[in-house]
Structure 1
Amino acid sequence: MTFSICVRESYTDGSGRERTRYGVAVTTRLAGVGTLCPFASEHGAVATQSLVNVDLGRKGIEYLDDGLAVEDALEALLNADDGRAGRQLHGVGADGEFAFSGEECRPWYGDRVGDNYTVAGNLLTGGDVVEAVADTYEETTAGAPDDPESDPETPLAKRLIEALAAGHELGGDKREELHVQSAALLVRSTEDREMAPHYDDLRVDATETPVEDLRETYELAAEGYEMAMERYEDEYEDDEDAGE
């Protein structure tokens, strides 16, 4: 698999309540990465890659949902995995971050752990790919003057795509002979919403331009969400009032 990012963010919802959202995004020079690598819930986000073991992602999220710390959950899974040396596994939980790259991953491989995020990649053109993904996420989250893409109020899904784009522009996955590529993102939140944004769970399963296509898919999904909210928001509010 190629490179991915997992993040945790705190925010205030429309009612003034403190919430947490988790996101994961990935791209690779293989088809259907969204079925294998990214996992998320309202308790964390996990990415499993390199020599993929899907159970590491599925069980990792289950453990986080059960209240385990991310480092305890993912390390326990790796300790029971005979293929540990060929795995990359990273993620964020409610109170921490974790990243692991086995010594048998194919170069270039490595990871980076920052405040509230992790990035990892393998079979890359170089370490600058991972650094670009991390740096771009940090910049768009903190906000940079005169840069419209750096507004931290921009939906997390959009900012994750920009982080992937930064790594892709530096070369990304080095297997240029593989022209079929894919990308995916997943965002989950502790906020209970009647209508979750359509752009928080997106996949491009087979294309030659994965990040560009994921961005276009996001834009269309965001447009569709806004149109649906304009048309049906009153109905959702009526349903909420009826349930009180």
Structure 2
Amino acid sequence: MTLSLCVREPYQDGDDTRHYRFGLAVTTRLPGVGALCPFVSENGAVAVQSHTSDWLGERTLSYLADGLAIDDAVEALLSADDNRRNRQVHGVDADGSVVFTGRECVGEAGHRDTGQFTVAGNLLEDEHVLDATAAAYESDAFGDAPLAERLVDALSAGVEAGGDKRESLSVGSAALKVVTTEKTAYRRFYNDLRVDASETPVAELRTTYEAALLGYEQSLDEYADPEDIESLRPE
């Protein structure tokens, strides 16, 4: 299984300037998914799974940086891809979304597209895994918790709904990445995390996230200008 979620969240900073958060979380029952599937920049988020492709993910982000809409970018790239029948690609940019599940992706395979976020998976226990993931994110979209935390919550819901049907594979992985269009003075360590090999990858991703968030807050207390700390708190 690979199960992933791509999200776009618009928000306003303290000066009422409009910004976006783009986030992606993914898990699979194989090691190292964080090195293969998630592609996120200040222009959007795209997951390339089933048959992964660095070229396809990186070129999609490059097209977004050049101003091409994500659906047009993915359509153009897949039209030139001899292996598109095995690809599963989905994602969001500032204005839209895209979902694609190739006809030879192994079932249960499918996707969900709300415009603001997309969910896709293959080798799932059943289609309810997609619905549970989407419902968990949607129930707390734009919530008070940082997006990274809410992405882990959504992945957890998908795993609890059945997750991967390959019970013979005990080692999996998980990753998350969040990028904003807003420039910040301090790197938000909790926004780019990977668990490369674990029997409980999503649970360990949560533990890693919580530790990274604590480290970020401690670094603010130690190094940030006291007048700036409140504006730098996680969001």
Name the residue aligned to 1:132: 132
Q: Could you say what secondary structure the match of 1:56 adopts?
A: helix
Structure 2: runs of 5+ lacking an equivalent: 229-235
What residue is the counterpart of 1:242 in the other structure? none
Task: Give me the whole-angstrom Cα distance separating, in 2, the residues matched to 1:57 and 1:97.
Answer: 15
Moved over 4 A (4+): none
**TM-score, normalization by structure 2:** 0.94
Per-residue CA deviation, residues 91-133 of structure 1 (Å, 9 max, x unaligned), is: 0011100000001000100000013101000000000001111
> Which stretch has the larger CA shift, 14-23 or 165-174?
14-23
Identity over aligned residues, as a percent?
54
Q: Counterpart in 1 of 2:213?
A: 222
Q: 1:34 offset after TM fit, Å?
A: 0.2
Residue 210 to residue 224, structure 1, CA distance change in 2 (3 Å): same
- 2:118 matched to 1:118? yes
Give the AA of the match of 2:80: A
Shift of 1:54: 2.1
Instruction: Describe the superposition over 1:69-96 as per-residue Cα deviations: whole angstroms up to 9, x where unpaired.
Output: 0000011111010000000000001110
The whole-number CA distance in structure 1 between the counterparts of 2:227 and 2:28 is 38
Q: Does the 8 A contact of 1:194 with 1:236 survive in 2?
A: no
Matched residue SS, 1:229: helix
Runs (5+) with no aligned partner, structure 1: 143-151, 238-244
- Distance in 1 separating the partners of 2:124 and 2:29: 11
Aligned equivalent of 1:41: 41
TM-score, length of structure 1 as denominator length: 0.91
Task: Indicate the SS of the match to 1:159.
Answer: helix
Contact 1:182–1:207 (CA under 8 A) maintained in structure 2: yes
Structure-2 separation of matches of 1:59 and 1:179:
33
1:181 aligned partner: 172
Picking from 174, 181, 185, the partner of 1:190 is 181
Higher percent of residues as helix: 1
2:162 matched to which residue of 1? 171
Q: How does 1:69-218 map to 2 (within 5 A)?
A: 69-141=69-141, 152-218=143-209
User: What is the CA distance between 1:17 and its match in structure 2?
Assistant: 2.0
Matched residue pairs, number? 228
Deviations 1:113-163 (A, max 9, x none): 013101000000000001111111100116xxxxxxxxx121000000000
Say which SS state the counterpart of residue 95 (structure 2) adopts: coil
CA contact (8 A) 1:9 1:21 kept: yes
The alignment status of 1:13 with 2:13, answered yes or no, reads yes
Q: Following TM superposition, by how much is the alpha carbon of 1:173 offset from its aligned partner in structure 2, in angstroms?
A: 1.2
Contact 1:46/1:90 (8 A) holds in 2: yes
Give the match for residue 63 of structure 1: 63
- Cα–Cα, structure 1 residues 194 and 236, in superposed 2: closer, same or farther, change >3 Å? farther
SS in 2 for 1:218: helix
Equivalent position SS for 1:176: coil
- Given residue 172 of structure 1, which amino acid in structure 2 is its aligned partner? G
Other-structure match for 1:240: none
